[in-house]
Structures are given as C-alpha cells and as structure tokens.
C-alpha cells in the first residue's frame, strides 16, 4: 500500500525538494561597510523568507527602471538595452525560484 501523502501532487513535492536541496547562497544586500552579504538559508526559515522578499523587491525595482527607459521620450540604443539583459535574466531566475518554492 502506498504511503499517504499530504499533497494531491507528490511529484510537485519532490521537485520542490530538489530545488531546496540544490539551493545556492542567497544574496541579502550590503552591510554597513558596503560588502556584499550572502546567506545559506535553511528551507522554510526566516533567512529564506527574507532572501525571497529581497529577490522579489529587487526584480520589481529593476522592472520599473527598465520600463521607465522604454517609456522615455529618447529611444534607448540597442547597446543600452542589451546592458539590461543579464540583469533581467538573473532577476527572472530568482523570482521563478521563489515562485517554485511557493507552489
């Protein structure tokens, strides 16, 4: 007989466990001296929640900056827009990681 599961979709639970186990250090910002701070947050812990919040807030701010550039009267050059691609890719990856943990 199969073991009871707390979820209707046990495959989702397994995939989220893989995401949690393969987590990398999370960026938390800068300290008072300007040094970058990273944490190894425990799944479901306070530091992970703070890192998730920081990731979502950073992506929100970055999206607002890019939106203002796109909406500006002066058209940005391809090179100027290309400078945002790595930042946007990183922000998207972080937000998708947050969303995957919440599902």
DSSP string, 4-29: P-SSS-HHHHHHHHHHHHT--PEEEE
CA distance 39 to 28: 7
What is the tens place of the pLDDT at every residue in 16-71? Answer: 454 444 467 888 888 999 999 998 988 888 999 999 999 999 999 999 999 999 99
pLDDT tens for 56-78 read: 999 999 999 999 999 998 889 99
Does 49 reside within a domain?
yes
Domain membership flag for residue 82? yes
Query: In this structure, is residue 69 part of a structural domain?
Result: yes
Q: Residue 72 falls within a domain, yes or no?
A: yes
Q: Provide the whole-model pTM.
A: 0.67
- Domain membership flag for residue 1: no
CA angle 84, 88, 91 (to 5 degrees): 145
Which range marks the domain in which residue 67 is found?
10-102
């Amino acid at each position: 007989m199969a073991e009871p599961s707390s979820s209707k979709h046990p495959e989702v639970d397994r995939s989220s466990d893989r995401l949690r186990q393969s987590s990398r250090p999370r960026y938390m910002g800068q300290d008072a001296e300007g040094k970058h701070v990273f944490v190894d947050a425990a799944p479901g812990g306070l530091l992970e929640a703070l890192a998730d919040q920081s990731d979502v807030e950073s992506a929100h701010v970055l999206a607002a900056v890019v939106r203002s550039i796109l909406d500006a009267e002066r058209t940005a050059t391809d090179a100027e827009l290309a400078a945002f691609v790595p930042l946007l890719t990183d922000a998207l990856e972080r937000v998708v990681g947050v969303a995957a943990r919440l599902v």
